[in-house]
Amino acid sequence: MSKQREEVQAVVWRENQLCLLDQRVLPGREVYLEYTAVAAVAEAIGDMVVRGAPAIGITAAYGVVLAARARYAQSAVEWQTLIEADLQTLASSRPTAVNLFWAIGHMRELIATLQGDPEPALLAAAKKIHTDDIAACRRMGELGAALIERPCNILTHCNAGALATGGYGTALGVVRAGFAAGKIRHVYADETRPWMQGARLTAWEMVQENIPVTLQTEGAAAYLMKQGKIDWVIVGSDRIAANGDVANKIGTYGLAVLARHHGVKFMVVAPTSTVDMNIVRGEDIPIEQRSPEEVLFLAGQPIAAAGAAAWNPAFDVTPAALVDAIVTERGVLLAPDAGKMVAMMENA
Protein backbone atom coordinates (compact mmCIF):
# COMPACT_ATOMS: atom_id res chain seq x y z
CA MET A 1 0.00 0.00 0.00
CA SER A 2 1.25 3.47 -0.84
CA LYS A 3 2.13 5.36 2.31
CA GLN A 4 2.04 8.61 0.37
CA ARG A 5 -1.61 8.21 -0.59
CA GLU A 6 -2.62 7.29 2.95
CA GLU A 7 -1.40 10.71 4.02
CA VAL A 8 -3.42 12.63 1.42
CA GLN A 9 -6.24 14.34 3.29
CA ALA A 10 -9.26 16.28 2.11
CA VAL A 11 -9.19 18.55 5.18
CA VAL A 12 -6.04 20.07 6.69
CA TRP A 13 -5.51 22.71 9.39
CA ARG A 14 -2.29 24.50 8.55
CA GLU A 15 -0.77 27.83 9.60
CA ASN A 16 -3.89 28.89 11.50
CA GLN A 17 -6.20 28.41 8.56
CA LEU A 18 -8.34 25.70 7.00
CA CYS A 19 -7.09 24.09 3.80
CA LEU A 20 -9.41 21.99 1.64
CA LEU A 21 -8.38 19.77 -1.24
CA ASP A 22 -10.56 21.02 -4.10
CA GLN A 23 -12.31 17.81 -5.13
CA ARG A 24 -14.00 19.51 -8.07
CA VAL A 25 -10.74 19.51 -10.06
CA LEU A 26 -9.49 16.02 -9.21
CA PRO A 27 -7.99 13.91 -10.69
CA GLY A 28 -6.51 16.44 -13.10
CA ARG A 29 -5.08 18.74 -10.44
CA GLU A 30 -4.35 18.53 -6.71
CA VAL A 31 -5.12 22.01 -5.38
CA TYR A 32 -5.62 23.06 -1.76
CA LEU A 33 -7.79 26.13 -1.19
CA GLU A 34 -7.25 28.23 1.94
CA TYR A 35 -10.04 29.53 4.18
CA THR A 36 -10.02 32.07 7.00
CA ALA A 37 -13.74 33.00 7.10
CA VAL A 38 -16.71 30.84 8.05
CA ALA A 39 -18.97 32.09 5.23
CA ALA A 40 -16.44 30.89 2.67
CA VAL A 41 -16.23 27.52 4.43
CA ALA A 42 -20.02 27.10 4.22
CA GLU A 43 -19.87 28.03 0.53
CA ALA A 44 -17.12 25.45 -0.03
CA ILE A 45 -19.32 22.75 1.50
CA GLY A 46 -22.28 23.70 -0.68
CA ASP A 47 -20.16 23.97 -3.81
CA MET A 48 -18.64 20.47 -3.31
CA VAL A 49 -15.08 21.63 -2.75
CA VAL A 50 -15.29 19.16 0.13
CA ARG A 51 -17.86 16.34 0.22
CA GLY A 52 -18.55 13.13 2.06
CA ALA A 53 -20.42 13.22 5.36
CA PRO A 54 -17.46 12.73 7.75
CA ALA A 55 -15.28 15.24 5.88
CA ILE A 56 -18.12 17.77 5.88
CA GLY A 57 -18.47 17.40 9.65
CA ILE A 58 -14.75 17.90 10.20
CA THR A 59 -14.75 20.92 7.91
CA ALA A 60 -17.67 22.43 9.81
CA ALA A 61 -15.82 21.98 13.11
CA TYR A 62 -12.84 23.91 11.78
CA GLY A 63 -15.26 26.48 10.36
CA VAL A 64 -16.55 27.08 13.88
CA VAL A 65 -12.97 27.81 14.97
CA LEU A 66 -12.68 30.49 12.28
CA ALA A 67 -16.05 31.92 13.26
CA ALA A 68 -15.09 32.11 16.94
CA ARG A 69 -11.83 33.86 16.08
CA ALA A 70 -13.69 36.56 14.13
CA ARG A 71 -16.53 36.98 16.62
CA TYR A 72 -14.22 37.19 19.63
CA ALA A 73 -12.21 39.89 17.84
CA GLN A 74 -15.50 41.69 17.18
CA SER A 75 -16.68 41.48 20.79
CA ALA A 76 -15.04 39.62 23.64
CA VAL A 77 -18.29 39.99 25.59
CA GLU A 78 -20.94 39.06 23.02
CA TRP A 79 -19.11 36.57 20.79
CA GLN A 80 -21.11 33.58 22.04
CA THR A 81 -24.33 35.27 20.93
CA LEU A 82 -22.91 36.57 17.66
CA ILE A 83 -21.51 33.20 16.60
CA GLU A 84 -24.95 31.58 16.47
CA ALA A 85 -25.56 33.21 13.05
CA ASP A 86 -22.36 31.55 11.80
CA LEU A 87 -23.44 28.16 13.10
CA GLN A 88 -26.72 28.56 11.22
CA THR A 89 -24.83 29.48 8.05
CA LEU A 90 -22.79 26.30 8.31
CA ALA A 91 -25.88 24.21 9.06
CA SER A 92 -27.65 25.47 5.94
CA SER A 93 -24.81 24.48 3.59
CA ARG A 94 -26.08 20.90 2.98
CA PRO A 95 -29.20 19.34 4.51
CA THR A 96 -28.69 15.56 4.34
CA ALA A 97 -25.24 14.83 5.80
CA VAL A 98 -25.99 14.51 9.52
CA ASN A 99 -22.28 14.66 10.47
CA LEU A 100 -22.51 18.36 9.67
CA PHE A 101 -25.14 18.92 12.36
CA TRP A 102 -23.43 16.53 14.77
CA ALA A 103 -20.18 18.49 14.57
CA ILE A 104 -21.90 21.86 14.89
CA GLY A 105 -23.86 20.61 17.90
CA HIS A 106 -20.70 19.31 19.54
CA MET A 107 -18.95 22.64 19.06
CA ARG A 108 -22.03 24.60 20.22
CA GLU A 109 -22.06 22.71 23.52
CA LEU A 110 -18.40 23.55 24.05
CA ILE A 111 -18.95 27.21 23.17
CA ALA A 112 -21.46 27.54 26.01
CA THR A 113 -18.79 26.57 28.55
CA LEU A 114 -15.96 28.85 27.42
CA GLN A 115 -14.56 32.01 28.94
CA GLY A 116 -11.85 34.18 27.46
CA ASP A 117 -10.31 33.48 24.04
CA PRO A 118 -12.28 30.50 22.66
CA GLU A 119 -9.95 29.56 19.81
CA PRO A 120 -7.53 27.19 21.61
CA ALA A 121 -10.28 25.02 23.11
CA LEU A 122 -12.35 24.97 19.93
CA LEU A 123 -9.34 24.14 17.78
CA ALA A 124 -8.42 21.28 20.10
CA ALA A 125 -11.99 19.97 19.82
CA ALA A 126 -11.98 20.21 16.01
CA LYS A 127 -8.65 18.40 15.80
CA LYS A 128 -10.01 15.66 18.07
CA ILE A 129 -13.07 15.22 15.83
CA HIS A 130 -10.61 14.88 12.94
CA THR A 131 -8.30 12.34 14.56
CA ASP A 132 -11.21 10.38 16.03
CA ASP A 133 -12.67 10.02 12.54
CA ILE A 134 -9.44 8.59 11.17
CA ALA A 135 -9.27 6.09 14.01
CA ALA A 136 -12.93 5.16 13.45
CA CYS A 137 -12.27 4.59 9.75
CA ARG A 138 -9.41 2.22 10.49
CA ARG A 139 -11.53 0.29 12.98
CA MET A 140 -14.39 0.04 10.47
CA GLY A 141 -11.95 -1.14 7.85
CA GLU A 142 -10.91 -4.04 10.09
CA LEU A 143 -14.49 -4.95 11.03
CA GLY A 144 -15.81 -4.76 7.48
CA ALA A 145 -12.94 -6.78 6.02
CA ALA A 146 -13.57 -9.48 8.64
CA LEU A 147 -17.04 -10.04 7.10
CA ILE A 148 -15.49 -11.05 3.78
CA GLU A 149 -14.90 -14.78 3.90
CA ARG A 150 -12.98 -15.39 0.67
CA PRO A 151 -11.12 -13.43 -2.02
CA CYS A 152 -13.75 -11.57 -4.01
CA ASN A 153 -14.69 -8.62 -6.19
CA ILE A 154 -16.62 -5.68 -4.80
CA LEU A 155 -18.68 -2.89 -6.30
CA THR A 156 -18.81 0.58 -4.76
CA HIS A 157 -20.74 3.76 -5.50
CA CYS A 158 -19.74 7.42 -5.23
CA ASN A 159 -16.62 7.98 -3.10
CA ALA A 160 -16.39 6.86 0.53
CA GLY A 161 -12.63 6.94 0.78
CA ALA A 162 -9.95 9.10 2.34
CA LEU A 163 -11.31 12.05 0.37
CA ALA A 164 -14.73 11.74 2.03
CA THR A 165 -13.43 11.41 5.59
CA GLY A 166 -10.67 12.58 7.90
CA GLY A 167 -8.52 9.92 6.20
CA TYR A 168 -8.48 6.22 5.16
CA GLY A 169 -12.19 6.06 4.36
CA THR A 170 -15.34 4.18 5.30
CA ALA A 171 -16.32 1.88 2.42
CA LEU A 172 -12.87 2.28 0.89
CA GLY A 173 -11.36 1.73 4.33
CA VAL A 174 -12.87 -1.75 4.15
CA VAL A 175 -11.43 -2.08 0.65
CA ARG A 176 -7.99 -1.01 1.83
CA ALA A 177 -8.04 -3.43 4.75
CA GLY A 178 -9.55 -6.21 2.67
CA PHE A 179 -7.06 -5.79 -0.15
CA ALA A 180 -4.13 -5.81 2.30
CA ALA A 181 -5.49 -9.06 3.78
CA GLY A 182 -5.88 -10.70 0.38
CA LYS A 183 -9.68 -10.74 0.63
CA ILE A 184 -10.47 -8.25 -2.14
CA ARG A 185 -9.14 -8.91 -5.61
CA HIS A 186 -10.80 -6.19 -7.67
CA VAL A 187 -12.91 -3.05 -7.24
CA TYR A 188 -15.66 -2.06 -9.66
CA ALA A 189 -16.59 1.60 -9.30
CA ASP A 190 -19.74 3.28 -10.56
CA GLU A 191 -19.03 6.56 -12.35
CA THR A 192 -21.66 8.18 -10.07
CA ARG A 193 -23.32 10.82 -12.13
CA PRO A 194 -23.73 13.76 -12.28
CA TRP A 195 -20.63 14.71 -10.23
CA MET A 196 -18.68 11.60 -11.29
CA GLN A 197 -17.21 10.97 -7.84
CA GLY A 198 -16.58 7.34 -8.70
CA ALA A 199 -14.68 8.19 -11.87
CA ARG A 200 -12.78 11.18 -10.56
CA LEU A 201 -12.21 10.26 -6.91
CA THR A 202 -12.67 6.55 -6.14
CA ALA A 203 -10.80 5.40 -9.23
CA TRP A 204 -8.08 7.93 -8.42
CA GLU A 205 -7.68 6.67 -4.85
CA MET A 206 -7.51 3.05 -6.00
CA VAL A 207 -4.99 3.76 -8.76
CA GLN A 208 -2.74 5.63 -6.30
CA GLU A 209 -2.61 2.54 -4.08
CA ASN A 210 -2.29 -0.01 -6.89
CA ILE A 211 -5.64 -1.61 -6.04
CA PRO A 212 -7.11 -3.00 -9.29
CA VAL A 213 -10.13 -0.91 -10.28
CA THR A 214 -12.55 -0.97 -13.21
CA LEU A 215 -14.93 1.89 -13.87
CA GLN A 216 -18.41 1.43 -15.28
CA THR A 217 -21.61 3.40 -15.76
CA GLU A 218 -24.34 2.84 -13.18
CA GLY A 219 -26.39 1.07 -15.86
CA ALA A 220 -23.75 -1.67 -16.15
CA ALA A 221 -24.06 -2.81 -12.52
CA ALA A 222 -26.97 -5.20 -13.11
CA TYR A 223 -25.16 -6.98 -15.94
CA LEU A 224 -22.00 -7.29 -13.83
CA MET A 225 -23.99 -8.95 -11.08
CA LYS A 226 -25.80 -11.23 -13.50
CA GLN A 227 -22.44 -12.46 -14.77
CA GLY A 228 -21.39 -13.31 -11.22
CA LYS A 229 -18.58 -10.78 -11.12
CA ILE A 230 -19.64 -9.05 -7.89
CA ASP A 231 -19.64 -10.63 -4.42
CA TRP A 232 -20.21 -7.56 -2.24
CA VAL A 233 -21.56 -4.06 -2.73
CA ILE A 234 -19.83 -1.79 -0.18
CA VAL A 235 -20.97 1.83 0.24
CA GLY A 236 -20.84 4.66 2.74
CA SER A 237 -23.71 6.73 4.10
CA ASP A 238 -24.66 10.34 4.76
CA ARG A 239 -27.37 9.58 7.32
CA ILE A 240 -28.69 6.41 8.93
CA ALA A 241 -32.15 6.45 10.50
CA ALA A 242 -33.04 4.86 13.84
CA ASN A 243 -34.52 1.81 12.09
CA GLY A 244 -31.42 1.17 9.96
CA ASP A 245 -32.63 2.81 6.75
CA VAL A 246 -29.68 4.38 4.95
CA ALA A 247 -29.39 7.62 2.96
CA ASN A 248 -26.50 7.64 0.52
CA LYS A 249 -25.58 9.04 -2.87
CA ILE A 250 -28.37 8.79 -5.43
CA GLY A 251 -28.22 5.38 -7.10
CA THR A 252 -27.45 3.43 -3.93
CA TYR A 253 -31.03 2.22 -3.51
CA GLY A 254 -31.01 0.79 -7.01
CA LEU A 255 -27.79 -1.10 -6.26
CA ALA A 256 -29.34 -2.58 -3.12
CA VAL A 257 -32.34 -3.83 -5.09
CA LEU A 258 -30.05 -5.34 -7.73
CA ALA A 259 -27.83 -6.92 -5.09
CA ARG A 260 -30.76 -8.62 -3.36
CA HIS A 261 -32.08 -9.99 -6.67
CA HIS A 262 -28.68 -11.41 -7.63
CA GLY A 263 -27.72 -12.78 -4.21
CA VAL A 264 -24.97 -10.20 -3.70
CA LYS A 265 -24.22 -9.03 -0.15
CA PHE A 266 -24.75 -5.33 0.65
CA MET A 267 -22.58 -3.56 3.27
CA VAL A 268 -22.92 0.01 4.57
CA VAL A 269 -19.90 1.49 6.36
CA ALA A 270 -20.27 4.69 8.39
CA PRO A 271 -19.23 6.14 11.76
CA THR A 272 -21.85 6.48 14.50
CA SER A 273 -21.78 10.26 13.95
CA THR A 274 -23.72 9.43 10.77
CA VAL A 275 -26.51 7.76 12.76
CA ASP A 276 -29.48 10.03 13.51
CA MET A 277 -31.61 8.41 16.20
CA ASN A 278 -33.99 11.39 15.99
CA ILE A 279 -35.04 10.23 12.52
CA VAL A 280 -37.36 7.26 12.95
CA ARG A 281 -37.26 5.98 9.37
CA GLY A 282 -35.68 6.74 6.04
CA GLU A 283 -38.72 8.52 4.63
CA ASP A 284 -38.13 11.26 7.22
CA ILE A 285 -34.56 12.01 6.11
CA PRO A 286 -34.35 15.37 4.30
CA ILE A 287 -33.06 14.79 0.77
CA GLU A 288 -31.00 17.55 -0.81
CA GLN A 289 -32.26 18.69 -4.20
CA ARG A 290 -29.44 20.17 -6.25
CA SER A 291 -29.48 22.39 -9.33
CA PRO A 292 -30.92 20.88 -12.55
CA GLU A 293 -27.92 22.35 -14.34
CA GLU A 294 -25.74 19.59 -12.86
CA VAL A 295 -27.71 17.12 -15.00
CA LEU A 296 -28.36 19.32 -18.03
CA PHE A 297 -24.76 20.50 -18.42
CA LEU A 298 -21.34 18.82 -18.41
CA ALA A 299 -18.22 20.92 -17.83
CA GLY A 300 -20.27 24.01 -18.61
CA GLN A 301 -21.57 22.66 -21.91
CA PRO A 302 -25.25 21.73 -22.47
CA ILE A 303 -25.79 18.01 -23.04
CA ALA A 304 -29.60 17.93 -23.05
CA ALA A 305 -32.22 19.22 -25.44
CA ALA A 306 -33.04 22.87 -24.82
CA GLY A 307 -36.23 23.14 -22.79
CA ALA A 308 -35.85 19.77 -21.05
CA ALA A 309 -36.30 19.71 -17.29
CA ALA A 310 -34.12 17.72 -14.86
CA TRP A 311 -34.69 16.11 -11.45
CA ASN A 312 -31.53 16.06 -9.37
CA PRO A 313 -31.85 14.56 -5.87
CA ALA A 314 -28.38 14.18 -4.36
CA PHE A 315 -29.33 11.13 -2.27
CA ASP A 316 -31.78 8.25 -2.02
CA VAL A 317 -32.79 5.97 0.85
CA THR A 318 -32.14 2.23 1.04
CA PRO A 319 -34.48 0.34 3.39
CA ALA A 320 -32.80 -1.60 6.19
CA ALA A 321 -34.40 -4.78 4.84
CA LEU A 322 -32.04 -4.59 1.85
CA VAL A 323 -28.90 -4.09 3.96
CA ASP A 324 -26.95 -7.18 5.02
CA ALA A 325 -24.57 -5.34 7.34
CA ILE A 326 -24.03 -1.91 8.83
CA VAL A 327 -20.45 -1.45 10.01
CA THR A 328 -19.56 1.31 12.48
CA GLU A 329 -16.60 1.84 14.78
CA ARG A 330 -18.74 0.34 17.58
CA GLY A 331 -19.32 -2.95 15.79
CA VAL A 332 -21.24 -4.77 13.08
CA LEU A 333 -25.02 -5.03 12.76
CA LEU A 334 -26.14 -7.95 10.61
CA ALA A 335 -29.66 -7.59 9.20
CA PRO A 336 -30.06 -4.21 10.96
CA ASP A 337 -33.33 -3.16 12.55
CA ALA A 338 -34.55 -0.62 15.10
CA GLY A 339 -33.74 -2.80 18.13
CA LYS A 340 -30.19 -3.48 17.00
CA MET A 341 -29.66 0.21 16.23
CA VAL A 342 -30.74 1.22 19.72
CA ALA A 343 -28.48 -1.39 21.33
CA MET A 344 -25.49 -0.22 19.29
CA MET A 345 -26.00 3.46 20.05
CA GLU A 346 -26.43 2.78 23.75
CA ASN A 347 -23.14 0.88 23.75
CA ALA A 348 -21.04 4.02 24.02
175 touches 144 (CB < 8 A): no
- Burial class (CB within 10 angstroms; exposed 0-12, middle 13-18, buried 19+) of 164: buried
Q: Is residue 190 among the annotated active site residues?
A: no
198 touches 171 (CB < 8 A): no
Instruction: Give backbone dihedrals phi and psi of 162, rounded to 5 degrees, phi first.
Output: -60, -30
Helix (H/G/I), strand (E/B), else coil: 332: strand
- Burial class (CB within 10 angstroms; exposed 0-12, middle 13-18, buried 19+) of 312: middle
Q: 194: cis peptide before it, omega within 30°?
A: yes
Rounded to the nearest 10 degrees, how much is the dihedral formed by the CA atoms of 15, 87, 279, 172? -20
Reference 233, options 273, 184, 280, 268; nearest CA is: 268
**Which among 86, 238, 245, 324 is annotated as catalytic?**
238
Residue 206 vs residues 3, 18, 224: alpha-carbon distances, Å: 13, 26, 19
Q: Known catalytic residues?
A: 238
